[in-house]
Amino acid sequence: MRTEDLEQLEIDLLLEGVYRRYGYDFRQYARGSLRRRIYKRVLDERVASISSLQERVLRDPQAMERLVLELSINVTAMFRDPTFYLALRTKVVPLLRTYPFIRVWNAGCSTGEEVYSLAMLLQEEGLYDRTRIYATDINERVLQRAEEGVFPLDKMRGYTENYIKAGGRKAFSEYYKAGPRGATFKRDLIENVVFAQHNLVSDRSFNEFNVIMCRNVMIYFDKALQNHVHDLFHRSLINFGVLTLGRKESIKFTSHENCYEAIDGLERIYKKVK
């Protein structure tokens, strides 16, 4: 057997073991980044091979927790891709104004920077009071951090720049208090937010939404899993509901390509039309 095939087999067995032992299903995540992440665990856990990592993870739930953290890449930022938020403000907000009540699903919200950004935008547009945001992620740890709402102070300068480029209407510093633990964001921003664990691979839809925001999550999934998630989103959106994806993602070439029209193709903002 070639080395690459053996490696493939070891990865398959690790993922199958993780699924059967813990119920976390990473079997359809894109292989390239999965492989890099698994090797990082092999190094950090100081084991000799992927098979040895498998043994450790199956016997030691804490090693499993570390693996989940590694595989569920949590990189995020406030007002990430500012022009996306600007487009949201100018092209989606007018549509949202027509609804008496707005339900948003922020899927794969990570540590919450996206949720806080959205809440600020909706507050400034006078829509937050009639909005409920369901912020979900596979990883419980990041959800706890999102709920705490304390973010590193050294990020605030970059976030302020993003906020301005995104069309922010206030001084960004009005939204947080600087302290020894970091920048603590105002609690009223998450007054209408429900944080919950939800796995896009195995869990079902739980409501009907006006907006689904799932950015930089499906990029880590293989094609079949992406289509599975698109099916879930399509069933969870109301007619003319809005779907937003990450900059490197697209509705094109997915199973649901024909169900959406672009509101802003460059910013990956789509409207469900059938």
Residues 6+ apart with CB under 8 A from 100: 130
Task: State which residue, 131 or 162, has the beta carbon closest to ligand SAM.
Answer: 162
Size of the site for ligand SAM (CB under 6 A): 21
Residues 83-102, mask of contacts with ligand SAM (x by CB under 6 A): --------------------
DSSP secondary structure of 39-73: HHHHHHTT-SSHHHHHHHHHH-HHHHHHHHHHHS-
243's enclosing H/E stretch is: strand 237-245
Q: Contact region for ligand SAM (CB under 6 A) — 35-43, 46-54, 108-116, 124-132? A: 108-116
Write down the least CB distance from residue 34 to ligand SAM, Å.
Answer: 11
Is residue 138 a contact residue for ligand SAM (CB under 6 A)?
Answer: yes
H or E stretch including 179? strand 176-179
In angstroms, the CA 188 to CA 269 distance is: 27
Q: Should residue 110 be labelled a site residue for ligand SAM when binding is judged by CB under 6 A?
A: yes
Q: Is 72 in the site for ligand SAM (CB under 6 A)?
A: yes
Residue 74 in contact with ligand SAM, rule: CB under 6 A: yes
Query: Is residue 200 within the footprint of ligand SAM (CB under 6 A)?
Result: yes
* Shortest separation between residue 229's beta carbon and ligand SAM, angstroms: 8
| Cβ-contact 10, 49 below 8 angstroms | yes
Provide, rounded to whole angstroms, the least separation between the CB of residue 113 and ligand SAM.
6
Q: How far apart are the first and last CA of the chain?
A: 48
Which of 189, 192, 215 shows the shortest CA–CA distance to 102?
192
Interaction of residue 142 with ligand SAM, rule CB under 6 A: yes
| Bridge partners, 271 (sequence order) | 242, 261
> Judged by CB under 6 A, which of 80, 89, 103, 230 binds ligand SAM?
80
Question: Which stretches of the chain bind ligand SAM, using CB under 6 A?
Answer: 72-76, 80, 108-110, 114, 137-139, 142, 199-201, 215-217, 246
